[in-house]
């Protein structure tokens, strides 16, 4: 079948719009298809590109797909969609925005994926690069579409990219200078035939990478098809061997280390929790492989407080740390925060929790609460259920709102403690969303502790 020069953009979301902008700038012919009858950006698109054909709804013209030069498929659209699979069988190139970017990009790339922590590590590596004076773009699944970087006049000398498994499915020629799969846990199994298929999609990030950064404590982070010419670097939360990145103890102090070289006491990091130690070690390994200077990276770790609402350090007053983990909207997230923070403390955790538990069993929190918490302060819709599950395990207070919860915490926490907002619940009973809840917590902490509004 004779091919045209037509590109077909599949999906009219944020990614699809960035693809359209890119193709238009490069004067490449394209049309757009979306399975929704009325995609949210449709009117704006038609005003901006009145001469571009748009096909909406379930029935796409298959002949047009089969004759296209390539399909640029948005991450939210499965490549197993019958119309796309048929086009592929006719020899049509099936790519995504990341692959389109890779074919035009000239800057070195650091690529990051994983089930947990990838946004934090991507942001952290970006900050390390900025501290080193590099002109860096932080893009991908984290927010800024990658193709928008290519539109800017000033060239970047480094691109730090967060990638999802969906984006990696259609990526073939990224060739990152350093890449990592931070960890893999079962997810998106509605999209993949098996957990192995999901893992294989993640492992595509290592394809033609120069350096692979591998989690020594998560065997799935290592690809079984990793090429022999790829330089391997390992990070671990145990004592590192040789050139590994890990944790060392010396005279009662825990250090980030590479082999026997002590780099930074973890107490000097702004981020909290063992999961953030792993994030820091992976970032150091990635940055080192890409040539970032160690001094700049270590300095960044002493100022970077983490992403907003994800175990974010808010303040430290009278040896009491205040941490915002408002994004901990379920039992599992709260458990991870309690374990990650509790294991490193000399004191205990004062836990603020509550909201709409969406039917969760709060008894599942009992072991962690018993082990790590001095007390819990409960608020919101499911206060009675939380009390029923946990009041017999730990000292419990009830607050009517965030202001009162923070006030109680400020009177009961002791030196060496962490006051942690990790609600284990949805926020919608009292707040617009988890971000609004976290902002309310931060404001209350600063007001009650008499801190300047810019204090972190």
Cβ-proximal residues to 161 (8 Å cutoff; 6+ apart), any chain: 98, 109, 110, 111, 112, 122, 138, 139, 140, 146, 176
User: Model confidence over 31-56: pLDDT tens digits?
Assistant: 999 999 999 889 999 999 999 999 99
Q: For residue 456, what pLDDT band results from cuts at 50, 70 and 90?
A: very low
Q: Residue 55 forms beta bridges with which residues?
A: 33
Q: Is 117 labelled as part of a ligand binding site?
A: yes
What's the Cα-to-Cα distance from 414 to each of 141, 297, 349, 351, 409, rounded to whole Å? 40, 32, 10, 13, 9
Domains, in order of start, for the chain:
7-95 (3.40.50.720), 101-301 (3.40.1190.10), 312-446 (3.90.190.20)
265: helix, strand or coil: strand
Kindly tell me if the per-residue pLDDT of 453 is higher than 60.
no
Q: What is the pLDDT of residue 154?
A: 62
Q: Is 273 labelled as part of a ligand binding site?
A: no
Kindly tell me if the per-residue pLDDT of 62 is higher than 80.
yes
Separation of alpha carbons 73 and 102, rounded Å:
15
Separation of alpha carbons 348 and 367, rounded Å:
14
Q: Which residue has the tokens 């928008």?
A: 148
For residue 293, the Cα-to-chain-centroid distance in whole angstroms is: 24
Separation of alpha carbons 303 and 228, rounded Å:
37
The one-character DSSP state at 222 is: S
Dihedral of the alpha carbons of 345, 350, 355, 357, in degrees to the nearest 10: 50
Q: What is the pLDDT of residue 152?
A: 62
Q: What tokens does 445 get?
A: 């902490």
Which has more pLDDT, 404 or 154? 404
Q: What is the pLDDT of residue 371?
A: 97
Q: Which residues are catalytic?
A: 118, 141, 188
What's the Cα-to-Cα distance from 75 to each of 180, 230, 416, 421, rounded to whole Å? 20, 27, 45, 33
Separation of alpha carbons 22 and 152, rounded Å:
11
What's the Cα-to-Cα distance from 452 to each of 106, 323, 437, 449, rounded to whole Å? 43, 17, 20, 9
Separation of alpha carbons 408 and 404, rounded Å:
6
User: Model confidence over 130-157: pLDDT tens digits?
Assistant: 999 999 999 988 878 899 988 766 689 9
Q: What is the pLDDT of residue 455?
A: 44
What's the Cα-to-Cα distance from 78 to each of 81, 96, 169, 400, rounded to whole Å? 6, 11, 9, 45
Kindly tell me if the per-residue pLDDT of 221 is higher than 70.
yes
Q: Is 118 labelled as part of a ligand binding site?
A: yes
Separation of alpha carbons 330 and 332, rounded Å:
6
Q: What is the pLDDT of residue 187?
A: 67
The answer to whether 129 touches 136, Cβ cutoff 8 Å, is yes
**Where do the DSSP E strands lie in 285-398?**
312-317, 320-324, 349-353, 373-378, 395-398
Q: Is 96 labelled as part of a ligand binding site?
A: no
Instruction: Beginning with the edge strand found earlier in the chain, give each strand of the sheet holding 253-258 in spatial order.
Output: 136-140, 158-162, 109-113, 178-181, 211-215, 231-235, 245-250, 253-258, 261-265
Q: For residue 344, what pLDDT band results from cuts at 50, 70 and 90?
A: confident
Q: For residue 452, what pLDDT band results from cuts at 50, 70 and 90?
A: low
Kindly tell me if the per-residue pLDDT of 386 is higher than 90.
yes
Instruction: Beginning with the edge strand found earlier in the chain, give each strand of the sheet holding 312-317 in spatial order.
Output: 312-317, 320-324, 418-421, 349-353, 373-378, 395-398
Q: What is the pLDDT of residue 144?
A: 84
Polymer length in residues for the chain: 456
The one-character DSSP state at 428 is: T
The answer to whether 111 touches 301, Cβ cutoff 8 Å, is no
Dihedral of the alpha carbons of 288, 293, 295, 297, in degrees to the nearest 10: -50
């Amino acid at each position: 079948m004779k091919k045209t020069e037509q590109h077909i953009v599949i999906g009219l979301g944020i990614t699809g719009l960035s693809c359209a902008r890119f193709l238009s700038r490069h004067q490449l012919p394209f049309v757009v298809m979306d399975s929704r009858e009325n995609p949210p950006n449709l009117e704006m698109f038609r005003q901006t590109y009145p001469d571009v054909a748009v096909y909406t709804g379930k029935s796409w013209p298959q002949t047009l797909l089969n004759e296209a030069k390539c399909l640029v498929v948005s991450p939210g659209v499965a490549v197993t969609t019958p119309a796309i699979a048929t086009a592929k069988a006719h020899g049509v190139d099936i790519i995504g925005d990341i692959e389109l970017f890779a074919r035009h990009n000239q800057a070195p790339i650091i690529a990051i994926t994983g089930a947990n922590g990838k946004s934090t590590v991507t942001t952290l590596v970006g900050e390390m690069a900025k501290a080193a004076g590099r002109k860096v773009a932080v893009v991908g699944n984290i927010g800024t579409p990658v193709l928008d970087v290519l539109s800017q006049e000033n060239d970047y000398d480094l691109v730090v990219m967060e990638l999802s498994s969906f984006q990696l499915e259609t990526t073939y020629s990224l060739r990152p200078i350093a890449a990592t799969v931070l960890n893999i846990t079962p997810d998106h199994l509605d999209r993949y035939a098996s957990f192995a298929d999901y893992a294989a999609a993640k492992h595509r990030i290592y394809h033609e990478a120069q350096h692979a950064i591998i989690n020594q404590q998560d065997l799935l982070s290592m690809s079984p098809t990793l090429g022999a010419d790829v330089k391997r670097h390992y990070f671990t939360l145990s004592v590192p061997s040789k050139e590994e990145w890990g944790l060392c103890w010396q005279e009662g102090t825990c250090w980030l280390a590479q082999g026997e070289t002590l780099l930074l006491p973890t107490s000097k990091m702004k981020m909290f929790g063992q999961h953030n130690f792993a994030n820091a070690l992976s970032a150091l390994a990635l940055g080192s492989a890409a040539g970032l200077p160690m001094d700049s990276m270590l300095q960044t770790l002493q100022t970077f407080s983490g992403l907003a609402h994800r175990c974010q350090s808010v303040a430290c007053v009278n040896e009491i740390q205040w941490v915002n983990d408002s994004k901990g909207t379920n039992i599992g997230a709260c458990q991870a925060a309690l374990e990650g923070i509790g294991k490193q403390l000399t004191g205990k955790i004062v836990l603020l929790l509550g909201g709409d538990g969406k039917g969760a069993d709060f008894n599942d929190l009992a072991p962690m609460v018993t082990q790590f918490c001095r007390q819990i302060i409960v608020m919101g819709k499911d206060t009675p259920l939380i009390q029923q599950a946990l009041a017999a395990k730990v000292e419990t207070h009830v607050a009517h709102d965030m202001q009162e919860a923070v006030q109680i915490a400020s009177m009961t926490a002791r030196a060496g403690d962490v006051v942690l907002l990790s609600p284990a619940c949805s926020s919608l009973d009292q707040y617009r969303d988890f971000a609004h809840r976290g902002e309310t917590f931060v404001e209350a902490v600063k007001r009650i502790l008499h801190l300047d509004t810019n204090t972190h």
